[in-house]
Amino acid sequence: MTDLTTLIEQLNTSSAQTLADLEQVRQSLAATVQQIQRATALTHFDQDALRAFFAKPYLVRPLGVDEYELIVPKFIGALGGWPVRTDGAFLIFHVNRFINLINPVPSWLANELGYKAVPFHATLDGNTLLIDRGDPQAAYDALSETRAVTRREGDRLFFRPANRLEVIRQIIRRYGFLPYTPQPVPAELQREGKVTFTLRPHQRRSYEYFLETSAISLFVYPQMGKSFVALQAMADLVGPKLVLVPRRSLADQWQARLELYLEPEAAREVDVVTYQGARHVLKREYTLVVYDEAHHMPADFAMDTATLLQTRTRMGLSATPKREDGNEDLIPALCGFPTGADWPVKDAQRPTVTVWIVKDDKAKLALARELCASPIEGKTFLFTYRLDIGKRAAKLLDVPFVYGKTKRPLDVITEHDMLVISSVGNEGLSFPVRRVIELSFLYGSGMEAGQRLGRLAHEMTGVDQPGEHHILMTPDEYERHNKRLMIYYQWGLEVSVQVPESGRSQDRVLLHVPRVSVKQRSAAKTSRRARGPAAAPVTHTAEHEPADEIAQTLALPAVAARLAKAQNAVGKHTAPFVTRAFRLCFTAAFTPAEIADGKGLVNQANISRYRSACKALREVDLFTEDQAGRFTVNQDEIARLRALAQRMGK
């Protein structure tokens, strides 16, 4: 009887499984039939319209003077400009004269948009602009609108010395050219240097452009060998040279490059310092300054250094020049003529990009462990902006966690094939990484997205397969911050959106991708006018850090007193930003501009308020600030205050 009961139970289980399998087959067939019906409906197309489409398979939509929205089918890919959003099977880019200077569209499209012709051309001559082409009066009328230009005498426009940078920026942004006269590197600065490498043809072209102009902004795809162009210049130029970097770990890597690729005497001529620590070299005169990760130059901590250094030649290096605050025009203004757009990228340097939509942090960690179980040739980096999930991932996978307090981080990275790494690994580090997994990230920052993916572009000898880039997002993160994915389309990469449970692509049915505005100021103004609960800023809830832990910390008497002191220091208009900054930076480090960008409030007023709030919290020892100008809660001090409160309670 027992055997018969068991057999019946097995038959019931088998039948249930068979029914489930049949239902899955039915759903699959229904989906296939729907696809066939859709395809059949599209077979009766207009041949003439199809030919017209392929004659011009893109749409240009005017936004303003010399400013356009460029809409391109995904199968064609990027044609230039800044990527702003996707819409089904289409990519949408923002194009204007300045963007065309940084990320140019093809010559034939530039002609169509009228970018080949400019209303006038001018070059700087002291505190004047010499109009060498076009109507001087028209140039004066255009540039005097902001009162930066004071008067005109013939073909010369005069401006105050204090307005020099403003005039340069105005010309770059509105007219898309640099008002500089190219100056070849003087013969007395050149020598025949010795290096242990040979520049490739595309690198040689950019280097020769540097010799012709003395100042270049080298904007190229990550891991393409930008530093070798700079190293060649260090070898070929006499006198002292300087490399500026945003992080100490990058300084260590530059020192290693100098020892590896230059003669000892040439290597000793090069100083390597951080942007923040460069004040002691401001009085020195250099023959060359290299601004590594030049997208940091417009930041407050780097601007003074960039504008006060004395140098005969200069070179800026960046793979991600677009900034969230819109100040990327400062890079060519301070570094020089853009180059590098024609550098070829190998297929092996174009990683596969997969976005995984998962429920929560627990699901992220489970999927990360599953992805890491698959062997791969090269290193695996698991990136996180939040320390809490980074520590959990490191414990789960039994691997090191490299973050701001890690001693000798380069040694740790070198010695391990798999590790969890915070924002210290976003930029500049050059290792044979073949798999990147993003556990948490900085909101919609395309700059960070590009830097992390750039770790995979490192060329590995004998490896022809592209690396793997995995972004783990919750549905809410995907809905709010999918604009960070746009840089992958700019680089011509395929992006697949997946749900792990089904294993099927969800590109079309998962979620509606909201429109990402090109101009964010109006959105910021709308947010400031909002009232009521809906106007309150989004804070990190359980997904980012247990809300009760933040609330308990804010309830500590000593913390509350210091918050009140910080609020009094900044005044009533900025006081609300103090608590917001504290909540946002409870487990992660952000710059004030990054905080404002994450809130969708990117304008100088809000950035200034967050900056004041962060500095006030630092003054009362509730915040710490790193070398890159990022602020985070001083957890050591919080732990001390919490322990003190417990002792007082007893």
pLDDT at 523 over 50: no
Burial of 126 per CB tally in 10 Å (0-12, 13-18, 19+): exposed
Q: Report which of residues 478 and 77 the model is more confident about.
A: 478
DSSP three-state, residue 56? coil
pLDDT at 340 over 90: no
Assess whether 333 and 407 both reside in one domain: no
DSSP three-state, residue 242? strand
Assess whether 301 and 205 both reside in one domain: yes
Rounded to whole angstroms, the Cα distance separating 338 from 104 reads 10
Q: What's the token pair of residue 625?
A: 């600030």
In Å, the largest CA–CA distance within the chain is: 111
Q: What's the token pair of residue 62?
A: 């005017």
Last residue of a domain, one of 285, 306, 339: 339
What interhelical angle do 248-261 and 226-236 show, nearest 10?
60
Residue 418 belongs to a domain: yes
Assess whether 434 and 374 both reside in one domain: yes
Q: Is 134 left (phi over 0), alpha (psi -120 to 50) or beta?
A: left
Assess whether 249 and 274 both reside in one domain: yes
Residue 180 belongs to a domain: no
pLDDT band at 501 (very low <50, low <70, confident <90, very high): low
Q: How many structural domains compose the chain?
A: 5
Assess whether 611 and 472 both reside in one domain: no
Assess whether 158 and 251 both reside in one domain: no
Q: Report which of residues 321 and 597 the model is more confident about.
A: 321
CA angle 498, 503, 509 (to 5 degrees): 50
pLDDT band at 6 (very low <50, low <70, confident <90, very high): low
pLDDT at 537: 28
**Cβ-contact 102, 219 below 8 angstroms:** yes
Q: How far is CA 648 from the centre of its chain?
A: 46
Q: How far is CA 190 from the centre of its chain?
A: 35
Q: Is the dihedral of CA 192, 193, 194, 199 positive or negative?
A: negative
Q: 16: which strand partners?
A: none
Find the domain containing 67 and state its range: 63-111
pLDDT at 308 over 90: no
pLDDT band at 446 (very low <50, low <70, confident <90, very high): low
Q: Per mean pLDDT, which range of 97-111, 392-406, 503-517, 611-625 is the poorest?
A: 503-517
* Closest to 441 (Cα-Cα) out of 410, 469, 467: 469
Q: Is the dihedral of CA 568, 572, 576, 581 positive or negative?
A: negative
pLDDT at 272: 94
Rounded to whole angstroms, the Cα distance separating 328 from 45 reads 44
Residue 54 belongs to a domain: no
Round the CA-based radius of gyration of the chain to a whole number and report it. Answer: 28
pLDDT at 81: 81
Assess whether 164 and 250 both reside in one domain: no
Assess whether 535 and 437 both reside in one domain: no
Residue 44 belongs to a domain: no
DSSP string, 258-275: HHHHB-HHHHHTEEEEES
DSSP collapsed to 3 states, 127-145: CEEEEEEECHHHHHHHHHH
Rounded to whole angstroms, the Cα distance separating 645 from 631 reads 25
Burial of 529 per CB tally in 10 Å (0-12, 13-18, 19+): exposed
pTM: predicted TM-score of the whole model, two decimal places: 0.62
pLDDT band at 287 (very low <50, low <70, confident <90, very high): very high
Q: Which residues of 312-348 are buried (b: 16+ CB within 10 A; e: fewer)?
A: bbbbbbbbbbbbbbbbbbbbbbbbbbbbbeebebeeb
